[in-house]
Structures are given as structure tokens and as C-alpha cells.
Amino acid sequence: MSGETHEAVHRHPAPTGFVWKYIFSLDHKVIGIQYITLALAAVLVGMTMSVLMRMNLSWPGTNWPILGTLFPGGAPGGMMTPEFYLSLVTMHGTIMVFFVLTTAPQGGFGNYFLPIQIGAEDMAFPVLNMLSFWVTFVGFIVILSAIFFSGADSTVGPIGGWTGYAPLSALGQIAGPGQGMGMNLWIISIAIFCVGSLLGALNFITTLLNMRTRGMSLMRMPLTCWAWFTTAVLALLSFPVLLGGGILLLLDRLAGTSFFIPGGLYVSGILSGTNPNFPAHTGGSPILWQHLFWFFGHPEVYIAILPGMGATSHILATFARKPVFGYRAMVFAIFAIGLLGFFVWGHHMFISGMSPYSAMTFSILTLSIGVPSAVKTFNWLGTLWGGRIRFTTAMLFAIGFVSLFVAGGITGLVLGQTSLDLPMHDTYFVTAHFHLVMGVASIFGMFAATYFWFPKMFGRLMNESLGKFHFWITFIGVYCIFVPMHTMGIVGMPRRFAQFTEYEYLKTLHPLVVLVTVAAITTVLVQIVFYFNLFWSIFKGKRAGENPWDATTLEWTTASPPPHDNFAGHLPVVYRGPYEFAVPGAANDFVMQTEPEVTQQPVGSGRERTSGNGHDGHRR
Amino acid sequence: MSTEARAEHFPAADWDGGVFPYRVGHRKLGMWLFIVSDSLTFSALLIGYSYLRASNVWPTPFPFYPSIVFSSVMTFCLLSSSLTMVFAVSASSRGDRARARKWIWGTIFFGLAFLVLHLIEWNHLYSEGLRPFSLPAEWVARYAAPNGPLPSPLFGATFFTITGLHMFHVFTGAIYLSVVAARIGKLKHEDVEISGLYWHFVDLVWMFVFPLIYIMSVDVGAH
Ligand code: HEM
Ligand SMILES: [Cu+2]
């Protein structure tokens, strides 16, 4: 093995012309940025909807003239109708889960950095990669069109929630406003999204298995790569099931089948089979939809969170200037979480009616996910322990991620027990739980990733003062939003309700409801600072150089931004693990993965002195 | 060497980077992954079918003759197509492209035969009155439990959905294979192999669909 690097054969030349360079680009870096842009746009829609919901909850009955002008049907005279609220809930949830949390972490950052971190010049299937983005994009357009096609129904989409529970979702227009064309578009959008994600997942797995550069053994991969890989496996195995379910649901609506529709339904004053608008249905099972949906749905929450976990591990080690504590345990924990994630879907269905034995099995399996989750948490704390911490914005968001993951995870242990879930189900306690552990924690992971990798992607640093301001307001803000929701849930405030004025027992909660809304509006407003920082820094940020954070992995060995083929014609060769910080006797407090060791044997000879784990550096 | 280091030492250099660990190229690996995910879509449908079947009164309307005999012929066509595909791949591995192409056309022929027979079968059931949303009146009378519930119209729904999705796969497979056959001069052997993987997968799916949808619905009481 001659030199430091070996020749890379790039299969597609650098494109010229705007369209091939930026629109239908085959370059994984451009596609990554496209995914991130899509998520940045989608999250604006989702956030706006959440603010509208909060405003309606805390000041029901108020007239918002603008709303009345924009949605004369949904908010006649400026006052929101309950159906309009429900459609906001549905669209907010769907857009956030699918088009924000499934795109940016995996399609965005994964696409950009997985090939670079394993030393590849691109993804395995560049054309497929481009297609998966554009398919996802079409899915987004379709879900947005649900907003407009539901206009005549006075909603901005279907009203059944992001879980699309049957029979509400299966019946068609008769089931209520937004359940006609709006619901069709919702299902079609999700089906399209499934296809896009499957193409992406296939590409990620192939790339990671086949395209690691010389010396990049599995146990030398950054934890980010392990996380993206596991996420891709989860997507590959769970999206097809949702796709299958979606096909059946669409057939129920369009072909008159009854997969999810039981007999004898009496809806909107009409008995099934007595009216041409409501043809006869019989024999289907709404529970079957729940099984198919949640078999996908639970892995989906890990699809959202795992990339954030990877980024957090990576960033904590870099800024604590210490190897990740227990690298191998981290890898196995990621895998254990992914694996167990496929056997716990029933915990969403405890009150749908199931045998107590199945409920107990699902409960025990659910609680057992606490073990690998705790392994990860303690290893993060162990990584921080005794480190010489650099409190950059990226680091703050990574620590925030750990905090939110713990805060939201604890209540998962509550909800995972059948007896406790029965009263808590469908209350704000659940809303609080999943927002903390899945929603906001993943978002924090992405913030951390953005502040951390921005200099690599654009060659400039983001502004740290603005970043820290953004962090602190957001961090305090999200706790102010979601902690009070636990109290509301315990008192018994149901989720997916447009207003609570009719309920005597909830009246005392009103000050909390208003507090949450004020916090939500503040938190949303402070995101303007983030968007500003992002766009301003692209043009005006401080120049970053190749390795502004003194980090060790391969993306920091190449230019910022990296050239079209990532390593300018020469693939790097890897000699050591990803987190060799503070190695005793080394000249710097970090050793790049590409740095050869004089006494080091080539990998695979069986005589190497490091196990490939970062922490070996300490033990030697 | 510490035990830990030994544990992490992968036996061959396969996993150390710079090589294809499974000794297959991207496209073949990609096809395998596609097959994994597609088989999960079919699993979802077949499990849904079993679930619905178990919770309903299910008609068993297929007489041994003609239905089962007919569908066995269809099965035979698909099995033959797999065999010809095996010959195609083996010819291609010997570099005999002309012969490989002929065998692929043979595969397509059997695939299309399957499709045509299947459409005849659909048409037959349709003219008997089977719909995705209802059963022929005669079946309803025949399979109603005594004084009990009526047979489920989900029979038609599951039948048309599952066999329809499978037919769609056969159809796309035939198109895929004809592209391979037409361009075989420019393709690598591995590309032929990959199309073979897809084709065998589509056949394999039928080997689940056939017993679950047809054999399990044989009218044992019939003459
Ligand atoms: C500023 C941040 C956010 C606020 C203020 C917020 C607020 C809300 C509100 C008020 C609801 C409706 C509760 C109900 O009536 O049942 C809701 C539902 C939901 N949110 Fe958020 N949200 C935020 C961020 C997110 C994020 C980042 C996600 C990503 C996962 C997310 C996912 C969901 C989901 C899945 C639902 C459930 C929808 C349903 O019931 O079908 N939210 N959110
Ligand atoms: Cu779950």
C-alpha cells in the first residue's frame, strides 16, 4: 500500500450550468442542502400552525381579523372553528414528523456528511439520491395542496390527526370536513413520502457497507455514521409497512373496500349502506390500521431521534476534548434501540383493546428500551465528565439534547406501563412526552448539527453570540412550553380538543395554558434570529478554514466547503478511531483519523496497537 | 493483545474498508435491499389478509376444477419462467450473451403467459359478480353460516388487492427484463444477475400468494 491516499475514480463529472448544479444535482452535498432547505421551509409551516393552535387554546372566541380574511370558511369573522383547529393539529403533526424530522436529520445532514465521514466521493447511487429528494419534494407539494383543496370544507386539511386513524380516515367526505379530498391528498402524500424514504434508505445502507475507504473499519466509524446507518435500516423495514397500509386505506376510500371499516357504522346521521354517499361497509378492522400504522410509527420516532443522538455524541466528544465514553457500548445501544423499536408498537394501543398478556409483553419490552437509552445518557455524561469543555453554541445544543432526551424519556417510563397509560392516554401528558423526547430533542440535535457543520458546508462560521442567545431563549422556552403540559395532562386535559371553556374542571388551568402560549410565541419568534444568523453567515460569517473545531474525523481533512468529489481526487486512508482526543504523548490534543502512527501496523494484520476505539488513547 | 482488541478484530480484511464486504457491487446490494423492503410491503398485506380472514366468515369459493387447476397452470408458468431465468443467468455467466438473451425472452414469455391467464381468471371472477366491495349473491347464500353472519365481502378486496399488486410486479418485471434483453450487449453479467434476483423474488411472492389466497380458499365440499 503505497502512499497516504489512493486514487478516487469519480463516476460523474462536476456539473456545469445552474440546473444541473443546484436543481437536479447528483452531488450528495447539494442534495443534502436541498433536504435541509425543504425542512427549513416545512418547519415554518408547522410552527405557524402551532402558534395558531396555541392562540386558539388560550384565547378561544377571539376575533383575529387576518385569519378571517385568509380563511373566511375556517375562521368566519376571524373566529376559528373547531374543525379548523383539528385540521391544524393534523397538518402540524404530519408536516413536523414527516417533512421536518425525517428529512433534515437523515436526508439532510446524513446525505451531506455520511459519505464524507466514511471517505467516499459520493453516495452509491447518485441518481437515486436525486430522485429520492425530488420524490419527497413532490410529497411535500401534495400535502401543502391539501391545505387548499380543503378550502371549501373550511379546514386546511384532514382533521383526523397525524395517525390517520380509521374509520374516520377511511370513510370519505361523510366523515367530516377535510376528510374528502384533503384526506386523499394526505394519504397520497404519505405514500409518496414512503417511496422517497425507501430510495434514500437503500442508498444509505449500500453506501455505508460498500464505500468505506481503506482503514475505515466499522469500529472506526464516527457514531454519526452508526446512527444514520441504523436509521436507514429502520426506514427500510418500517416504511414499506406504512406504504402497504396506505394502499389499503386509499382503496377503502376510492374502491369501496372495507379493510378498516367495520359494519353497521352510523356516521353524520346516516347508516352505512342506506345512502349513495355512504355505501355499505362490513367486516373491516380499525385496529388493523393501528397495527400497521404503529408498526411503522414507533420505529419512525427513532428515525427522527437517532441522527440527533449520533450528532450529539460526536459534538460532545469534540467539545469536551475527550473520546466518547464507551464507544462500543454506544454502538450496541444504537442497535438495541433500533431492534427493540420494532417490538413495542402496541404501547400506542393499550386502550384500543388488547389481551392483558399482549399488553404486558408490550409494556415490558417498552420499558426495556430504557436500558440502552440509559446507557447512552450515562455515556454522554461520562464523556462530559472531567472534560475541558468548550461551550460553543453547537455544544450547548448538544447538551440541551441530552437534557431534553432525559426529560422526555422519563415520562416514557410512565406511559409505558399499562395501568398508568390508561388514564394518561390522549391527554396533554402524552403531548408533552413526545414533544420533548421526539420533537424538540431531535430539533435540538439538528440545531447542534447546524452550528457544528455549518463552517464545513459554507466555509464560514455562524455568529456565536447570536447562536448563544438563540440557544438560551429556545432552551428555556421549550421547557416553559412543555413542562406545564404534564400538569395539564395529569389533571385530565384531553389532546386534540379545540377549546376547553366548557369544562369546569379545567378552568383553573387557564393561566398555565396562557403561559404555554406566551412561551410558544416567544420561542417561535426567537427562531427568526436563527434564520437570520443562518443566511447572514453564509455571506458574512467569519472564514472558517478546514478545521475550525480541532476535530478529528474525515470531513475536517478536506476543504470547506468540500470539492465536488469531496477529497479532490484522492481518497483518504484511515489509521485510527474517530475520537482520539487528549491522547497522552501526542503533539496536539487531537489526532486526525488520517494521521498514520509510525509504529502502527496496517489494519487487518492482527497486530495493531489500538483497538480502533477512541478511548484506547487513554489506556495505552 | 487484550481480549477487547481481539474481540474487535474482524477476522478477514473484509470489514476494514476499501473493499466490498459482501463481495457484491452497489447495484446488487441495492437490489437485495429493495427486495427486503418490498417483501415487507407484501408481508403487511398478507398479514392484514390473515387478520381479516380470521375475524370474519370467509367464503371458500374456489372449486378444484377449474379454479385450482387453472391457477396451478399459472403457477407452473411462473415456475418455468424462473427456470428459464436461471438458464439466462448461467448463459450470461459463461459470456454467451446471445443465448442469455434468448432465455430472457423465454422468461418474459412465461411471465406474460402468467399475466394473460391471470387476467382471464380476474375476468371470470368479475363476471361471476365478484367485486372489491361485494360477493356474488350466489356465494353469499352458499357460505352464510346457518343463522349466523354473512360471508365477508373482504374476500374480493383482499383477492384483488394482493393479486393485483403481484401482477403489477410481474408486469414491471417483464418490462425490466425486456430492457435487459434489448441492451444485453452493453450490460455486465452482474446486471443480468440483478434482474434475475428481481424476477425470482416476484416468483417467490407468488409462492406465498398462491397457497394463502387460492389453496386456502378451496371449496372442499364441491364435487
Ligand atoms: C414551538 C414548538 C411547538 C409547539 C408550540 C407545538 C404545539 C403543538 C400543539 C398545540 C399541538 C396540538 C395538541 C392537541 O391539541 O392535541 C401539537 C401537536 C403535535 N405536534 Fe407540536 N408543537 C411544536 C413543535 C413540534 C415539533 C418539533 C414536532 C415534531 C415531532 C411536533 C409534533 C407534533 C405532533 C406529532 C402532534 C400531534 C398531532 C396529532 O395529534 O395528530 N410539534 N403541537
Ligand atoms: Cu412508540
Mean per-residue pLDDT, A213-225 = 95
Say which DSSP state A7 is in.
E
* Ligand 1 center to A201 CA (angstroms): 26
Check pLDDT > 90 for residue A444: yes
Chain A residue with minimum CA distance to B25:
A210
Predicted local confidence at residue A8, as pLDDT: 44
Site of grid cell 369546569: A504
- Mean pLDDT rounded to a whole number for chain A: 92
All residues of chain A having their beta carbon less than 8 Å from the beta carbon of residue B131 are 256
- B30 with A206: Cβ contact below 8 A: yes
Contacts of A155 (CB under 8 A, 6+ apart): A74, A83, A84, A86, A87, A177, A178, A182
Cβ atoms of A251 and B132 within 8 Å: the answer is yes
Nearest atom in ligand 1 to A523's CA: 1
- Beta carbons of A283 and B56 less than 8 Å apart: yes
Q: What's the pLDDT band for A404 if we cut at 50, 70, 90?
A: very high
Contact state of B42 with A217 under an 8 Å Cβ cutoff: no
- Residue of A49, A85, A87, A89 to mutate, ligand 1, most atoms within 8 A of C-beta: A89
Residue type, A460: R
Nearest CA in chain B to A257: B133
Chain A CB contacts of B130 under 8 Å are: none
**Residues with Cβ within 8 Å of residue B102, at least 6 apart in sequence:** none
Report how many Cβ contacts below 8 Å link chain A to chain B: 159
| CA angle (A495, A501, A503) in 5-degree steps | 75
User: Domains of chain B: which residue ranges?
Assistant: 79-223
Highest mean pLDDT among A12-26, A346-360, A477-491: A477-491
Chain A residues with CB inside 8 Å of B159's CB? none
- pLDDT band for position A11 (50/70/90)? low
Q: Is the pLDDT of residue A603 over 70?
A: no
- Asked if the model's pLDDT at residue A613 lies above 80, the reply is no
Percent of chain A, pLDDT > 70? 94
The pLDDT assigned to B13 comes to 73
Residue-wise pLDDT for B24-42, tens only, equals 889 999 999 999 999 999 9
Average pLDDT over residues B11-15: 65
Ligand nearest to the CA of A442: 1
How many Cα neighbours within 13 Å face the side chain of A126?
19
> What are the angstrom distances between the C-alpha of B217 and each of A200, B68, B159?
39, 10, 11
Q: Does pLDDT of B129 surpass 80?
A: yes
Would you state the pLDDT for residue A150?
Answer: 82
Distance from CA of A182 to the nearest CA of B (A): 23
Provide φ and ψ at A267, rounded to 5°: -125, 135
CA A75/CA A79 separation, integer angstroms: 5
- Helix, strand, coil shares of chain B, percent, nearest 5, are 75, 0, 25
Q: Between B178 and A68, where is the model more confident? A: B178
Provide the 10 A C-beta neighbour count for residue B1: 11
- Across-strand partners of A570? A7
Alpha carbon A519 to its chain centroid, in Å, reads 23
Mutation target to probe the A interface, by most A beta carbons within 10 A, among B10, B50, B133 is: B133
Q: Is the peptide bond before A167 cis (omega within 30 degrees of 0)?
A: yes
Looking at residue B219, what is its pLDDT? Answer: 85
Maximal C-alpha separation, chain A: 84
Q: Assign B23 a pLDDT band (cuts: 50, 70, 90).
A: confident
Categorize the per-residue pLDDT at B14 as very low, low, confident or very high, splitting at 50, 70 and 90: confident
| Burial readout B204-217 (b: 16 or more C-beta within 10 A, e: otherwise) | ebbeebbebbbeeb
pLDDT in tens, A328-371: 999 999 999 999 999 999 999 999 988 999 999 999 999 999 99
* Superfamily (CATH H level) for B79-223: Cytochrome c oxidase, subunit III, four-helix bundle (1.20.120.80)
Please give the distance, rounded to the nearest whole angstrom, from the Cα atom of residue B208 to the centre of ligand 1: 41
Of A210, A215, A291, the CB nearest to B29: A210
Query: What average pLDDT does range A458-482 have in this prediction?
Result: 97
End-to-end Cα separation, chain A, in angstroms: 27
pLDDT tier at B222 (50, 70, 90 boundaries)?
Answer: low
pLDDT score at B157:
96
Confidence category of residue A72, pLDDT binned at 50, 70, 90: confident
> What is the DSSP track for A291-337?
HHHHHHHHHHHHHHHHHHHHHHHHHHHHHHTSPPTTHHHHHHHHHHH
d(CA A601, CA A593): 15
Average pLDDT over residues A458-463: 97
> Which residues of chain B make contact with A612, given a CB cutoff of 8 A?
8
* Domain residue ranges in chain A: 20-259+288-540
CB neighbourhood size of A188 (10 A) = 18
For ligand 1, residues with CB inside 6 Å are: A 47, 50, 53-54, 89-90, 92-93, 96-97, 101, 161-163, 431, 435, 438-440, 443, 481, 495-496, 520, 523-524
| Model pLDDT, residue A610 | 43
Q: How far is A467 from chain B (nearest CA, A)?
A: 37
DSSP state of A20: I
Look at ligand 1, atom 43, and give the residue with the nearest C-alpha: A50
Q: How sure is the predictor about A519, in pLDDT bands with cuts at 50, 70 and 90? A: very high
Around ion ligand 2, which residues have CB less than 5 A away?
A: A 298
Residue A202 clears pLDDT 80, i.e. is over it: yes
Nearest CA in chain B to A259: B154
Using 50, 70 and 90 to split pLDDT, how confident is the model at B22?
confident
Q: What is the structure's pLDDT at B40? A: 97
User: Which triple of cell numbers denotes residue B116?
Assistant: 394473460
Q: Give the closest of B25, B27, B40 to A237, CB-based.
A: B40
3-class DSSP state for residue A390?
A: coil
Q: How far is the CA of A510 from the centre of ligand 1 (A)?
A: 19
Q: Can you give the pLDDT at residue A492?
A: 95
User: What pLDDT does A617 receive?
Assistant: 37
**Which of A145-154, A278-287, A466-475, B154-163 bottoms out in mean pLDDT, i.e. has the lowest?**
A145-154
Asked if A611 and B2 come within 8 Å (Cβ–Cβ), the reply is: yes
From the list B161, B137, B136, B141, the residue with the least C-alpha distance to B212 is: B161
Instruction: Kindly state the cell numbers that stand for A196.
Output: 422517497
Identify the residue among B1, B2, B9, B53 best suited for mutation to test binding to A, counting A beta carbons within 10 A and taking the highest: B9
Asked whether the beta carbons of residue A202 and residue B30 sit closer than 8 angstroms, the reply is yes
Q: Tens of pLDDT along A239-257?
A: 999 999 999 999 999 999 9
* Per-residue confidence band for A560, with pLDDT thresholds at 50, 70 and 90: very high
Query: CB–CB of B52 and A255 under 8 A?
Result: no
Nearest 5°: phi and psi at A275?
Answer: -150, 140
Which pLDDT score is estimated for B146? 81
Q: Does A329 touch chain B (CB under 8 A)?
A: no
Is residue B12 very low, low, confident or very high in pLDDT (cuts 50, 70, 90)?
A: very low
Query: CA-CA distance, B88 to B107, in Å (whole number)?
Result: 9
From residue A524, alpha-carbon distances to A210, A278, A436, A447, B126 in Å are 42, 43, 16, 14, 57
**Virtual torsion, Cα A493, A496, A498, A501, nearest 10 deg:** -10
Residue A12: its pLDDT value, please? 67
Nearest-angstrom CA–CA distance, A385 and A102: 32
Q: How confident is the model at residue A598 (pLDDT cuts 50, 70, 90)?
A: low
DSSP-assigned beta bridge partners for residue A581: A590
Superfamily of domain covering A20-259+288-540: Cytochrome c oxidase-like, subunit I domain (1.20.210.10)
Which residues in chain A are closer than 8 Å to B134, comparing Cβ atoms?
280
Beta bridge pairs of residue A7 = A570
What are the b/e assignments for A305-319, b being 16+ CB within 10 Å?
A: bbbbbbbbbbbbbbb
Q: Whose CA is nearest to atom 9 of ligand 1?
A: A50
**A236, closest residue in chain B (CA to CA):** B37
Q: What is the DSSP letter of A217?
A: -
Residue A201 in contact with partner chain B when CB distance is under 8 A:
yes
What is d(CA A167, CA A179) in angstroms, rounded to the nearest whole number? 11
